[in-house]
């Protein structure tokens, strides 16, 4: 398992999500994605290895990701006037995007 390659694919997919579905915060999207991935990298690596080794299942993996969703840096979005509802939708779609990447690449 090449975690760095997985991380690159996650980043590409999250940026695509921002650019396609959340154009309201396209300008700050890359910063938000980079900050999240940087702050979560060690945990993501550990959890991804557990998933790849079948020590946890996909549902547990998703639950662990949800525990990290507050790491998405939302202050910039709130300051830009983005609603909390839209920010919440972004967080949920971002987690689904990460899970989808893991399904494709390691399961």
Sign, CA torsion 102/92/66/45: positive
- How far is residue 23 from each of residues 18, 26, 73, measured CA to CA in Å? 6, 5, 17
pLDDT given for residue 74 in this prediction: 61
pLDDT given for residue 40 in this prediction: 86
pLDDT given for residue 69 in this prediction: 67
pLDDT given for residue 106 in this prediction: 83
How far apart are the C-alpha atoms of 44 and 28, rounded to whole Å? 22
Q: Left (φ > 0), alpha (ψ -120 to 50) or beta: where does 57 sit?
A: beta
How far apart are the C-alpha atoms of 73 and 71, rounded to whole Å? 6
Q: pTM higher than 0.85 for the full model?
A: no
CA-nearest of 34, 33, 88, 96 to 63 is 96
What are the pLDDT digits (tens) for 32-41?
788 888 888 9
Can you tell me the mean pLDDT for 81-104? 85
> Which of 28-37, 49-58, 73-82, 87-96 is modeled with the greatest confidence?
49-58
């Amino acid at each position: 398992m090449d975690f760095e390659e997985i991380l690159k694919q996650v980043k590409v997919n999250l940026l695509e999500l921002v650019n396609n579905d959340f154009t309201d915060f396209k300008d700050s999207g890359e910063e938000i994605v980079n900050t999240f991935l940087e702050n979560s990298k060690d945990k993501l690596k550990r959890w991804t290895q557990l998933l790849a080794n079948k020590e946890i299942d996909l549902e547990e993996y998703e639950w662990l990701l949800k525990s990290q969703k507050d790491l998405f840096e939302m202050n910039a979005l709130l300051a830009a006037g983005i609603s909390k509802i839209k920010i919440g939708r972004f967080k949920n779609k971002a987690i689904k995007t990460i899970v989808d990447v893991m399904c494709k690449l390691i399961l």
